[in-house]
Amino acid sequence: IKNHSSSTSPFILLGLSSNPQLQKPLFAIFLFMYLVTVVGNVFIILAIHSDSRLHTPMYFFLSNLSFMDICFTTVIVPKMLRNLLSDTKAISYVGCLVQMYFFMALANTDSYLLASMAIDRLVAICNPLHYDVAMSPRRCLLMLLGSCTISHLHALFRVLLMSRLSFCASHVIKHFFCDTQPVLKLSCSDTSSSQIVVMTETLAVIVTPFLCILFSYLRIIITVLRIPSAAGKWKAFSTCGSHLTVVVLFYGSVIYVYFRPLSMYSVVKDRIATVMYTVVTPMLNPFIYSLRNKDMKRGLRKLKDKIHL
């Protein structure tokens, strides 16, 4: 890694707000949200593993999505909480790259798991007779391993690219964690080629699962509209409602943040959008999947009974 000597100096994370009076209220809010995220997703995982009727491909992917959400928020929120109560708000150069790596790896794994869940719904609704063969445990495991491998390779490539940049002047990151766009803004190197590579590679890695989800739901809609009874249509659509809600929340904010040129980067707007998919969506996932899903409600009740025993 070839950098100027100042490039390895610590970065300063400005956080969500520089107002001293907001630090403790923000700490309380995000600590509560983080605890709800961890507890909610742990309950989802335990409910799925404790109920044999939930040992299906859909819930296999959901339990892994919940695990990734716990890891995903843990990469960002604890450091943010610490900085809210700290005067320095520093993160080392290596620490910044490590946070960036795990953030990207886990976020992309999330997106590929959402795509895997869309494929599961596609097969279940459009080709139910071949569901057991198409979504066998071996294939589900391969889909999970493929999701993790592609995501970690993508993250490694991006971090290696970022490590080649020089940071000669300001080391103040106008964000609450080390994300690509705010760090690129600080570089005194020519970042035009990096931006092109980042945009191209991001399109390939992030758009692929998104297009997969889009194609799956177009096929599902066409199939469901052919069902003669209204009750049949509602039953088919209801199995996709929770997943579709999470997809809209996750991809809506991700597309807003990352699919724009660096010149259009807005600190305040991007912070709000980033909070949506890094903190809010992982927190809401357990509620979305449990409140609108009879099987999950039954699994959670069964888990509650076991805990009381």
Query: Roughly what angle, to the nearest 10 degrees, separates helices 137-163 and 93-126?
Result: 150
Q: What angle do CA 115, 121, 125 make, to 5 degrees?
A: 150
**End-to-end alpha carbon distance in the chain:** 57
Per mean pLDDT, which of 114-118, 167-171, 296-300 is the most reliable? 114-118
Q: How confident is the model at residue 4 (pLDDT cuts 50, 70, 90)?
A: very low
For the stretch 66-78, pLDDT in tens is 999 999 999 999 9
Q: Tokens 């790896």 appear where?
A: 105
Mean pLDDT of 160-181: 82
What's the rounded Cα separation, in Å, for the pair 273 and 229?
A: 40
Instruction: Pick the closest to residue 177 from 259, 33, 279, 260 (CA basis).
Output: 279
State pLDDT tens for residues 177-203.
998 878 877 877 766 766 677 777 777
Per DSSP, helices labelled H in the chain are 23-50, 57-84, 93-126, 131-134, 137-163, 180-186, 192-225, 230-238, 241-258, 267-275, 281-291, 294-308
- Asked if the model's pLDDT at residue 125 lies above 60, the reply is yes
Are the CB atoms for 227 and 233 separated by under 8 Å?
Answer: yes
* Residue 244 pLDDT: 84
More confident residue, 33 or 305: 33
Calculate what percentage of the chain has a pLDDT beyond 70. 90
Q: Considering the entire predicted model, what is its pTM?
A: 0.86
**pLDDT at position 267:** 63
Mean of the per-residue pLDDT values for the chain?
84
The residues pairing with 90 across neighbouring beta strands, listed in sequence order, are 12
Tell me: the pLDDT tens digits for 220-262?
A: 888 888 888 777 777 777 777 788 888 888 888 777 776 666 5
Structure confidence at residue 44 (pLDDT): 92
Specify the higher pLDDT residue, 80 or 264. 80
What pLDDT, on the 0 to 100 scale, is given for residue 266?
63
**pLDDT at residue number 305:** 77
- Of 234, 240, 211, 232, nearest in space to 122 by CA: 240
pLDDT at site 212: 93
Q: Are 178 and 81 in contact (CB under 8 A)?
A: no
* Token digits of residue 77: 């929120």
Residue given tokens 């449990």 in the structure block: 290
CA pair distance 131, 127, nearest whole angstrom: 6
Task: Give the model's pLDDT for residue 18.
Answer: 78
3-state secondary structure 124-168: HHHCHHHHHHHCCHHHHHHHHHHHHHHHHHHHHHHHHHHHCCCCC
Classify each residue of 77-114 as buried b or exposed e, where b means 16 or more C-beta atoms within 10 Å of its C-beta: bebbbebbeeeebebebeebbebbbbbbbbbbbbbbbb
CA dist list (Å): 187 to 7, 97, 192, 245: 9, 14, 11, 37
Burial code of 281-308, b = ≥16 C-beta within 10 A, e = fewer? bbbbbbebbbeebebbeebbebbeeeee
298 pLDDT more than 50: yes
Q: Which residues lie closer than 8 Å to 228 by C-beta, 6 or more apart?
A: none
**pLDDT tier, 308 (very low <50, low <70, confident <90, very high otherwise):** low
pLDDT in tens, 53-64: 889 999 999 999
pLDDT of residue 5: 42
Phi, psi (degrees; rounded to nearest 5) at 271: -60, -45
Q: Please give the single-letter amino acid code of residue 88.
A: T
What is the pLDDT at residue 2? Answer: 43
Residue 1 has pLDDT above 60, yes or no: no
Question: Identity (one letter) of the amino acid at 224?
Answer: V
Rounded mean pLDDT, 141-167: 89
